[in-house]
Amino acid sequence: MNTTEIFDGVRFPGFMHTPESLQAACTFQFQDTDILLVTFPKSGTTWMQQVLSLIFCEGHLWPIHHLPNWARMPWMEQTSFSSLLPQLNTSWPRLLTSHLYAKVLAPALMKSKPKVVYMARNPKDVLVSFYHFHRIAGFLPNPSSFEDFVDEFLEGTGFFGSWFDHVKGWLGLQKDLDLLFVTYEELHKEPRFTIQKLSEFLGHPLGPEEEDVILEHCSFSFMSQSNMVNYSLLSKEIIDHSQGKFLRKGVVGNWREHFTPDLNKKFNAVYEAKMGDSGLCLPWTMD
Ligand code: A3P
């Protein structure tokens, strides 16, 4: 199960990626009505999948209670995509998900005008979440140590490649695509406001009662208990919940409990070197 597929120089888990499934994503024919969520893993993908599907539920919560997130908003690059695509709820726009890089998906996206939601999170929290995820996911190798994992993350040699390239690539396309940039941190701090911003961008305004329903069903406590989003439907070989939960902490700044002062210094130096001249205004503090 723990195999690797290399695509455009980036390592993907071979368990759910093949050269064909990755290539099919890059040549996918988007429709103007499609909505694509893009993230680097562990940036709050599942959370945003829940929010986006709730926005289009219009109070009819059947999909939230009966369809797992990966069936509501399938990953374009995974092998299961071709079987899930025809089943996507026809009364919704097609809601899609991807972890792919801008440079490989942009040509297909630019052929039509889908809306893109790009969600990012403080890379230190992404790293910590990803480290713990490697320990429970059967399709990823067990990290030898946290220090080694930090090195791999900074070099961009781990699974899914470089966080830095991912974020810079997608945010560099803000002018070319109909793209909304959202952060995990703002959804955490101001969930109602962020949901309103998303619904306006998607052209799907909400009433206050609908917002209340969304807020309840995208809370960490609700999602932790829901087997439609907590990945407990998957076998122990895929996600071993006896080793840790997928919805692990759900907080901002958990990195502080993992980084030593030396590791923090090392991380900040690489962050500054790679992001310092990006011109991007990113909302998190690195200290
Ligand atoms: P932690 O491991 O820091 O807890 P992804 O879906 O991209 O793999 O991201 C998983 C991360 O998002 C996990 O972070 C998970 O707990 C967090 N998450 C998922 N749902 C959330 C929610 N409703 N509120 C806050 N964090 C959530």
Per-residue pLDDT, 3: 93
Percent of the chain past pLDDT 70, that is, above it, reads 99
For residue 210, the Cα-to-chain-centroid distance in whole angstroms is 24
Predicted confidence (pLDDT) per residue in 135-148, tens digit: 999 999 999 999 99
Choose among 99, 215, 225: nearest CA to 165. 99
pLDDT over threshold 90, residue 92: no
- Ligand 1: which of 248, 255, 256 to mutate, judged by most atoms within 8 Å of the beta carbon? 248
Compute the distance from residue 112 Cα to the ligand 1 centre, in Å. Answer: 31
Of 216, 247, 231, 227, the C-alpha closest to 65 is 227
Cβ–ligand 1 distance for 249 under 6 Å, the answer: yes
Active-site residue, from 99, 132, 166, 217: 99
For the chain, what is the mean pLDDT? 96
Identify the band that residue 89 occupies on the pLDDT scale cut at 50, 70 and 90.
Answer: low
Q: Is 42 in the pocket of ligand 1 (CB under 6 A)?
A: yes
Cα R_g (the chain), whole angstroms: 18
Task: Please give the average per-residue pLDDT across 33-45, as a whole number.
Answer: 98
Cβ neighbours, 10 Å, residue 270: 17
Is the CB–ligand 1 distance for residue 220 below 6 Å?
A: yes
Helix (H) or strand (E) holding 96: strand 95-98
99 is catalytic: yes
Q: Choose between 199 and 86: higher pLDDT.
A: 199
Average pLDDT, integer, range 150-173: 97
Of all protein residues, the one whose alpha carbon is nearest to atom 17 of ligand 1 is: 250
pLDDT attached to residue 277: 86
Looking at residue 176, its amino acid is D
Structure tokens at 140: 């990823």
Q: What is the pLDDT of residues 249-287, one digit of tens each?
A: 999 999 999 999 999 999 999 999 999 988 888 989 888
Cα(271) to centroid of ligand 1, in Å? Answer: 22
pLDDT value for 201? 98
Orientation of helix 19-26 relative to helix 102-109, angle to 10°: 50
ipTM of the complex: 1.00
